[in-house]
Chain A
């Protein structure tokens, strides 16, 4: 057991006295008389309901959160009246630009409305009678890898939530939305593999090594750029490819619904870097150095045989040499496009000159030569 109360309340005479007073009808009403700030949040757009943006009012709003949060180390609701003695709950992330992103509130609201449930929103019955063993084996292997990725993405969000100051309520809420999104993907990809008739594939050593490196980032900005922007870009590209290569409505829907979720994480990752660098411009060099040494992880993941070979088989539609050649051409193009789009996002986020520094870009050029 970690923490003990300062008082054994069962032996506290003052508590009994207070209780007796209240039971006699003598309410203290100290809270009733607090000098709080009145506010009335109203839905700006009734179609949308009452959003967090509607609650962005004065000291209650997220715009009012200072860059450095001092003297707010409890879970007291932002803007509420603080009593004299509150505990320190041990938050270690107290700087707004380390976590915040413009638009995070929009992304949170969007995540809630665009929720789906794999059990019932994918027409699994359509996958029941599938006879193409190569295709199903490829899907099972890809699904196994994507389940590994999703687990790490879920853990990445969970890992930081505990440490982030509760003043950043809306941001923490978005991380919760990410957690449930990724739980959904862990579930959905596992289900896809186990409905295939092939069972789960092989866990990927190179992918997991890359994933562990991403997961263990030392700071939140590094973790976010690594998992949301870098990894997220490639997962998004993977979902797009699977949707494009789907030969059933079920597989298309599974990939598209997953794609939507991942695109939100990518959007947050891009916006978070932008906000971070706008407020801490000196950190650009740090993030650039982080990406210099960490970009290789996505090669370990999406260049792994457990991802790339099934992709080649799906795209080529078979194992014959001509099919493999077709599939290989698709995979080359896929990888090059994924790198290009990732680099476009880093540029948009404010990480200039990534193209020149990126070893992924160099690899794409070397592969094309």
Chain B
């Protein structure tokens, strides 16, 4: 049986009595005189409307929020008067630096206004007018199969943590909710596009499924966010940009531009969260490195995901003939290097420049770069 309220309200005579008297206009009104911080928030920029940043006032705001939330363990909105008897939400995460990110409130507002619709915002009729040749069609359907498979890990994992965060971190909870919706939309758009090509869905990606398990089973929100938002989504962002570049039609380019917007927001949160952690909780540095060691192991192992690598080669080279494949390999390897470079660049910008020195992925990338340079 689940949690039970401290009283059964329909059997609680005092409660029912008060309820019935209220409905006769006999009011207690003690809530009216509850001491509180009286504020009248206004939009700073009327064109932007009333934002969370406009609500960053006094005790209601996020700026004044302490590192450790000691008082509010309930569902009470931050700054509301707390009474004895409020239940315990059983939040596991009560330390701001576990979850917070610079500009999280901005990312949330942006997400709310930039929700697009996979059903109506893509020119489906135009896309379907384009018949893709077999090699391109199958390669593209395979890429889309991979993308629809992996997207909702970034729904499941943050959603798992949402209810475990202290209620005072509602800006983060709200951001997680927008990410959940973004990722559902991504799973949707890639699935729909695959099914609209006429080729159907292709093969699931075993290696990437094990990577998803690694992401799902993270022990803490901070670990989950590091590998999901920053490492995984950072690399996916570069992948979306590459996919836009190699897209077979204008409609597909639009598709990747739209998903790219969402992904960039998630990566932004990931980066700003890491910065916040390193600024406020520097002793986490070593744990972060250890977690990235294993995350990068999965990244390196992605060679086994030939159902991802080879479609890229075919799409980039525009076919299966020997010369197409050679060109596709050249372009795809350049993309892989770029993807890795951007990942380390993000880490450096967030305050982890030493990552390159201890990363086996970086060493392997450098060897590959040298090897390509000698072959050229």
Contact = CB atoms under 8 A, between A and B. Distances in A.
B34 interface: yes
A49 B118 CA distance: 9
Most chain B CB within 10 A, of A36, A118, A360, is at A36
B87 A37 contact: no
Contacts of B28: 305, 309
B18 A305 contact: yes
A344 interface: no
B203 interface: yes
B79 to A, nearest CB: 5
Given A75-B152, A187-B52, A208-B74, A308 B216 contact: no
Contact of B201 (A8, A40, A43, A77): A77
Nearest to A308: B22
Nearest to B151: A75
Nearest to A109: B119
A86 B195 contact: no
Interface residues on chain A, size class: 35 or more
A65 interface: no
Task: In the A-B complex, list the 7 residue pairs whose CB atoms are closest, starting with the nearest.
Answer: A2-B217, A324-B25, A203-B76, A76-B204, A328-B25, A9-B301, A119-B49
Contacts of B52: 187
6 contacts: A5-B298, A50-B196, A89-B209, A115-B115, A124-B49, A148-B75
A356 B124 CA distance: 52
Given A49-B117, A154-B173, A75 B209 contact: yes
Given A119-B49, A209-B7, A306-B31, A27 B306 contact: yes
A19 B303 contact: yes
Central interface residue in B178, B195, B290, B294, by most chain A CB within 10 Å: B195
B112 interface: yes
Interface in B26-71: 26-32, 34, 36-43, 46, 48-52, 55, 57, 60
A76 B209 contact: yes
B27 A190 contact: no
Interface in B1-24: 1-11, 15-16, 18-20, 22-24
A65 to B, nearest CB: 14
Contact of A89 (B46, B212, B223, B303): B212
A18 B329 CA distance: 14
A5 B297 contact: yes
B341 interface: no
Contacts of B205: 83
Contacts of B139: 32
A162 to B, nearest CB: 4
B25 A316 contact: yes
A208 B195 contact: no
A182 B188 CA distance: 21
Choose among B39, B46, B49, B77 the residue with the greatest number of A CB atoms under 10 Å from its CB. Answer: B77
Contact of B9 (A80, A210, A218): A210
Contacts of B9: 206, 210, 296-297, 299-300, 303
A111 to B, nearest CB: 9
Interface in B191-247: 191-192, 194-206, 209-210, 212-214, 216-219, 223
B38 A199 contact: yes
A12 B301 contact: yes
B149 interface: yes
Interface residues of B, number: 151
Nearest to B302: A9
A163 B348 CA distance: 35
A7 B297 CA distance: 9
A80 B201 contact: yes
A39 B200 contact: yes
A52 B181 CA distance: 15
B180 interface: yes
B76 A148 contact: yes
Contacts of B285: none
B2 A3 contact: no
Contacts, number: 471
Contact of A23 (B184, B192, B196, B333): B333
Output the residue of B121, B142, B155, B181 with the most chain A CB within 10 A.
B181
A32 B310 contact: yes
A196 B50 CA distance: 13
B307 A119 contact: no
A103 B77 CA distance: 34
Of B3, B9, B49, B83, chain A has the most CB atoms within 10 Å of the CB of: B9
Contacts of A38: 198-200
Interface string B136-160: 0011001001001110110111011
B364 A166 contact: no
B290 A172 contact: no
B162 to A, nearest CB: 4
Contact of A161 (B23, B148, B180, B294): B180
A234 interface: no
B157 A162 contact: yes
A169 interface: yes
Interface in B303-325: 303-304, 306-307, 309-311, 313-314, 322, 325
Interface stretch (A173-181, A235-243, A260-268, A269-277): A173-181
Contact of A155 (B34, B82, B162): B162
A309 B51 CA distance: 29
Contact of B297 (A9, A77, A82): A9
Contacts of A162: 156-157, 159-160, 216
Contacts of A176: 155, 159, 177, 180-181, 183-184
A157 B199 CA distance: 34
B306 A28 contact: yes
Contact of A208 (B19, B76, B157): B76
Contacts of A363: 10, 16
A158 B31 contact: no
Given A8-B297, A321-B25, A212 B46 contact: no
A303 B109 CA distance: 33
Contact of B163 (A118, A121, A158, A327): A158
A359 B12 CA distance: 12
Contacts of B142: 31-32
A87 B210 contact: yes
A287 interface: no
A198 B291 CA distance: 46
Contacts of A29: 310
A60 B200 contact: yes
